Amino acid sequence: MSCGERGEVEEQVLKAIRPSRFQVRLLNRFYELVKSKLEACIEASGFKALIEAQGSFAKNTLLSDKWEVDVFILFEGVSDEWIHNESLKLVTRCLSGLPVIRRYAQHPYVTVVMNGLEADVVPTIRLEKPRPHAMGVERTPFHTRYVKSKLTPCLADEVRLLKSFLKGIGAYGAETHVGGFSGYLAELLVIKYGSFRGVLRAAARWNPEKRVYIDVEGVGDREYLEEKYKDSVVIVVDPVDPGRNAAAAVRLDKLALFILAARLYLEKPRKEFFHVYSGEQRGALKYRVDPSRLGVVLYKGALYSHPPESVWGRLYRSARLLAGELERMGFKVGRYWFHTDESSYGVIVVEVEEAELPPLEASRGPPAWTPRRSERFILKRLGEGMPVWVRDDGTLAAWKPRKVRSLGEAVAKASRSLPAPPGASVSYAGTLEGAGEPWRGIISREYLKSFPSWIASP
């Protein structure tokens, strides 16, 4: 089957990312198993519900390394409160006998894990059309139906390419810690531009300084949406809910990343852009991870019992907070990074210019004309035996002996006020140098891989 304008790289990548027949058959069977168990039990319990596959599995846009199905239970005649507070009891009971992890993000759901296969089972209300201010899961069935009605098998492969590309560059996912493109958004873009390359060609011309506005079905009220989504850098009208921006989660940095990657890829298509090949640093880099310049906080705990996005979200927040705190302490921060295996550990890393700050700090005080504040500053600094002067802008300044000079000490101190991922606590805080094996090796390798290897000389 030939599908339009694919190059050699894309054909090769597709072979790697398209699920095998075996995989599809296995997932289908798993889905049927869960479905039949649920159907029988729910009916027997006196409830009326429709069981439907959703998400990538249902839309035929699944990637080969995902052994997952989304199973929705669309209840009739129940309230929101019942879904939120009671439904999981029924669902858990109905799935008894299967290994189940109970989870709760914005919406309650359970995950069935069996022989490496996963099914997220989500109870929700059956609706005729999405309600205004609907929660994400309410919209899912409508998204699935819309996409299924639009995607040919050819287009489904184009979606796979785009999703793999977005993953490869680190811009896949609408979760806070990513701020990138959801799977549904990738599907909408392929539907709009007709192919993976078509999307890249459009993206290469986007300019975030003017807002990007895309309306696949021509159903949006641009003025209304631009007002409602003032802070969004991209607006993509949701065909099943025209008052909604399907790209509201996309942040400036990830948009910029995608535009850059699109441009570089079109200039020179390479496999490193796609997620199955990304992360392999080429030999040309002289840069080596210097463990003395990496501040590290390592968390350990039962992360598996919490939704991965809550874990990632917390790590993202902590990493940013630590970077900010180190900046305030006088370190020049180059980059921050965070990672988790979604199971037993999470780690945040901040790379700074130097491991040890100089003994004196040029400290800035209040304006010299403010009576109480300036006297307090003067008293403090003189008490430390340091001279005070007035800067060009009329504020006080003084040399000040630094209390915390070493990166290790600074990270240890800052780590005490950082939010830990749910279910975890600090296992180590200091420089990577002091982390000890095997963590030093693991973190060092993962960190090096996190530099975008696809940014290469064209």
What lies within 8 Å, CB to CB, of 149 at 6+ separation is none
Angle, helix 8-17 to helix 153-169, in steps of 10 degrees: 90
User: In the stretch 262-281, what mask flags binding to a copy of itself with x, by CB under 8 A?
Assistant: -x-----------------x
Q: Are 55 and 70 spatial neighbours (Cβ–Cβ below 8 Å)?
A: yes
Report the residue from 114, 202, 256, 266 that binds a copy of itself according to the rule CB under 8 A: 256
**How many residues in the shown chain lie near a copy of itself by CB under 8 A?**
61
Tell me the two tokens of residue 383: 């008490």
Q: At its nearest, how many Å lie between a copy of itself and the CB of residue 217? A: 27
Q: Where are the beta strands (DSSP E) in 130-253?
A: 212-214, 234-238, 241-245
Among 20, 21, 287, 438, binds a copy of itself (CB under 8 A): 287
Question: CA-CA distance, 386 to 86, in Å (whole number)?
Answer: 65
Task: Say whether residue 360 binds a copy of itself (CB under 8 A).
Answer: yes
Number of neighbours of residue 193 by Cβ within 10 angstroms: 19
Among 371, 416, 425, 438, the residue binding a copy of itself under the rule CB under 8 A is 371
Task: From residue 108, give the alpha-carbon distance in Å to each of 39, 41, 92, 101, 102.
Answer: 19, 19, 11, 11, 8
CA distance 225 to 248: 11
Residue of 116, 383, 416, 438 interacting with a copy of itself (CB under 8 A): 383
CB 347, min distance to a copy of itself, A:
18
Asked if 433 interacts with a copy of itself (CB under 8 A), we say no
Contacts of 269 (CB under 8 A, 6+ apart): 7, 9, 10
Packing angle between helix 87-94 and helix 21-44, nearest 10 degrees? 120
CB of residue 337 to a copy of itself, shortest distance in Å: 9
Residue 11 or 327: the one with the smaller Cβ distance to a copy of itself is 327
Residue 451 CB, nearest distance to a copy of itself (Å)? 4
Task: Check binding of 393 to a copy of itself (CB under 8 A).
Answer: yes
Q: Are strands 68-76 and 117-125 parallel, antiparallel or unpaired?
A: parallel
Candidate ranges 81-89, 207-215, 235-243, 297-305; the one touching a copy of itself (CB under 8 A): 207-215
Part in contact with a copy of itself (CB under 8 A); list of ranges 54-62, 84-92, 105-113, 256-264: 256-264
Closer to a copy of itself by CB, 50 or 285: give it: 285
Cis peptide before 438 (omega within 30 of 0): yes
Round the CA-based radius of gyration of the chain to a whole number and report it.
26
Q: At what angle do helices 153-169 and 196-204 cross, to 10 degrees?
A: 50
Does 253 interact with a copy of itself (rule: CB under 8 A)? yes
x-or-dash string of contact with a copy of itself, 320-359, rule CB under 8 A: ------------xxxx-----------------xx--xx-
Place of tokens 């000890």: 436
Site for a copy of itself contains 379 (CB under 8 A): yes
- Decide whether 307 or 452 has the Cβ nearer to a copy of itself: 452
Tell me if 50 contacts a copy of itself by CB under 8 A. Answer: no
* Sole window of 3-11, 102-110, 191-199, 370-378 interacting with a copy of itself (rule: CB under 8 A): 370-378
Q: Does 369 participate in binding a copy of itself (rule CB under 8 A)? A: yes
Judged by beta carbon, residue 222 or residue 332, the one nearer a copy of itself is 332
Question: Residue 299 and residue 252: Cα distance in Å, rounded?
Answer: 29
Question: Which residues make Cβ contacts (< 8 Å) with residue 330, sequence separation at least 6?
Answer: 357, 361, 402
The site for a copy of itself (CB under 8 A) is made up of: 206-209, 251-253, 255-257, 259-260, 263, 281, 284-287, 293, 332-335, 353-354, 357-358, 360-362, 367-369, 371, 374-375, 378-379, 382-397, 399, 451-452, 455-458
